[in-house]
Amino acid sequence: MLQSLAIRNFVIVESLELDFAPGFTVLTGETGAGKSILIDALLLALGERGDADVVREGAPRAEISAGFRAGPAVVEWLQAQGGVAAIEKLNEQKARILYDLIDASDYYRGVILPEFRGTMNVSFNLATPELEEKFLKEAGARGLYALKGHRSVGGIRASIYNAMPLAGVEALAGFMQEFQRQNG
């Protein structure tokens, strides 16, 4: 359940913090522009890809964060994994495996500068769109799915959210190494 949304330097918003009470929340307005900004910000917080156009003029970057109340099943799962700190450590390990592989050669080309990389989505390109299509087809044949990059930028995007096990990332890394040996 969404509990809070904080927006800084997003489109025309300098700073806004919203807290949502339990129950049914309705956003109303005359034109819908404000609601659209809130919805777009929430979509970015949920993993949608943004671009430089969303940064308020004159600001170095936009910042969006959302707070959620987890249901009992999620809390149970987190506790079984060792808690939030353990999940964070695992997510950093998973991302490091892929980024180290990408950075080790020029075959895979990282999309995000190292200082701005996150741990949930690892994006990269290959030399040509045709090679990327071959990568996706062969990965699918190996049971590695949902790797196609965002519709606006293409490439490859590995979403390695909390529930993605380390073994899944290791399988992708192994496939990437094999693909490079066979096609490099």
User: What confidence tens digit (pLDDT) does each residue in 71-125 have?
Assistant: 899 889 889 999 989 999 999 999 999 999 999 989 999 988 888 888 989 999 9
Query: Higher confidence at residue 69 or residue 92?
Result: 92
| Range list of β-strands (E), the chain | 2-10, 13-19, 63-68, 109-110, 121-125, 156-159
d(CA 30, CA 36): 12
Q: Do the beta carbons of residue 132 and residue 125 sit within 8 Å? A: yes
- Cα Rg of the chain, angstroms: 19
Where does the pLDDT of residue 32 fall: very low under 50, low under 70, confident under 90, or very high at 90 and above? low
Residue limits of CATH 3.90.1150.10 in the chain: 83-183
pLDDT at 40 over 70: yes
Dihedral over Cα of 137, 171, 125, 47: its sign: positive
State which CATH number among 3.30.70.270, 3.40.50.300, 2.70.98.10, 3.40.190.10 fits the domain covering 2-69: 3.40.50.300
Note the Cα 22 to chain centre separation in Å: 27
Phi, psi of 3 (to 5 degrees): -110, -35
Where does the pLDDT of residue 138 fall: very low under 50, low under 70, confident under 90, or very high at 90 and above? very high
So what's the architecture of 83-183 in CATH?
Alpha-Beta Complex (3.90)
Task: Give the residue-averaged pLDDT of 148-172.
Answer: 89
**pTM for the whole thing?**
0.70
Residue limits of CATH 3.40.50.300 in the chain: 2-69
Window from 112-116, 123-127, 141-145, 170-174 with minimum mean pLDDT: 112-116
Q: Quote the pLDDT of residue 113.
A: 86
